[in-house]
A and B are shown apart, each in its own frame.
Chain A
Amino acid sequence: MDWRAIYLFFFHKIQSNPKNFFVHTHKNDHNEIKKIIPLAPRCIQPFVIYANWEPAPLHAYATPVDMTILRVNGSAPAMTYATVKQQVEALNGVTACAANASSKVVSVTFDPEHISAARISSEVAAITRQKVEKAVFETAGPPAPQCPIPHSYIRAFEKAKYALCFR
């Protein structure tokens, strides 16, 4: 029997007989619990079906990464930036690094579970022996329209969807 069907079977059992699956906290809360508990699976069920309607995209199987972009204040030789790239890439948790001597920008993608942006910043400062800060770009951006919904909301929704995808 498909284990996904087993999962929904228990959904049905919880809804039809919640007393066997939940502990009553107080006798006065009994009626309130009986009203709320059966609603929970009904609210989640449509989302579970939506989450499993199609396979998860390719990027759901990739390790999530974070990014930091740093600007080196002061002058450092071009060779230093090559050293920065080499040494930062060797750090545990760093997935990619690019260092540009002309713009004095160092961009790093990293796994936040293994290393932090602050640690990377201190490493770059130690290698270049210059002050390092987050890069600010002064150029005017393109006139394209911006999405009104914060992207972090969209990402949180997608994470919940992939967590409930069993395909």
Chain B
Amino acid sequence: MNMKNTLLNTRKTALVTGLAIATASLALSAQAMTVISFGGSSGDAMQKAYYAPFVEKTGKTLTPGDYNGEFARIRAMVETGNVSWDVVEVESPELVRGCFEGLFQPIDWAKLGIEDQLIPEAVTECGVGSFVWSTVLAYDADRLEGTPLSWADFWDLETFPGKRGLRRGAKYTLEFALMADGVSSSDVYDVLATEEGVARAFAKLDEIKEHIQWWEAGAQPPQWLVAGDVVMSSSYNGRIAAAQEEGRNLAITWNESLYDLDYWTIIEGSTQVEDAYEFIRFASQADTQAVYSSNIPYGPVNPAAIGALSEAQAKRMPTHADNLIGAIAVNTDFWVDFGEELEQRFNSWATR
């Protein structure tokens, strides 16, 4: 999440500066739970929605902090037994790797007692979902004639002539290609796990290869759409929402979008497990999640929070019931295992 966050809003507000001072003073008191997030605008929203209300409600101390997703730091902490972090926000590939390596404590879902309130993907062995973001088909509604409804339309060069933007890499690209080729969204990863499926995805990409402009940073798709460089692009939904707030008439096709989650984890060896559970439970409530999502366009993992948002905000959430139709979760296990092989194949394909 860190790239998406920092590029979305690199500005560190006075709030964060205040937090840093609070951190310094709180670090002196021995039994404070430390909560680490990716900071940036998401961290600001977390402060408003989770940290401050949690301290106010429970009277417990909480030391917030941020990091850039340096996995090695967590590993070093656990291996040396010098664990100073308790609750840490991680992206899904790190969740999968860290859980396998035993860096995160397994979540006792019975003890947490909120399993039935969350979307299924938020419930994992070592992590509790914190928010949902999505990779979607986006276009400039002022420029494009007609409405693309699926990835098949994205591939349709006759109805929608012009360049298309896709992320430079195999992840997301191969899934979209298969959906464009008629694979139903629920079968995508089963097909992609076979050699024929991979070949099929690349063959489908061949059809529009000349018309793709590949993006590297999350800020590029909305910029290209606004500038008219591309007529459609895959994009992170948060980027499009930010452009919409600036008055751009960018539109999102939620059908066949790929959503992914960030997770709360409890570091192995943490001494503040009770507080950690209480914090995670607190941060998963509908009301706190609604405050978070009203500050940043990432979807709540607790669907009940959608109801507390304004109509306009709710429609921008990846977890809005309408937006979940036809959408699938990114299969992180698949990408952790096959990612290298497929990225290499993508690079080989791209130069041919």
> Are both chains from one complex?
no
**Residue ranges of B at the interface with A (Cβ–Cβ < 8 Å):** none
**Residue ranges of A at the interface with B (Cβ–Cβ < 8 Å):** none
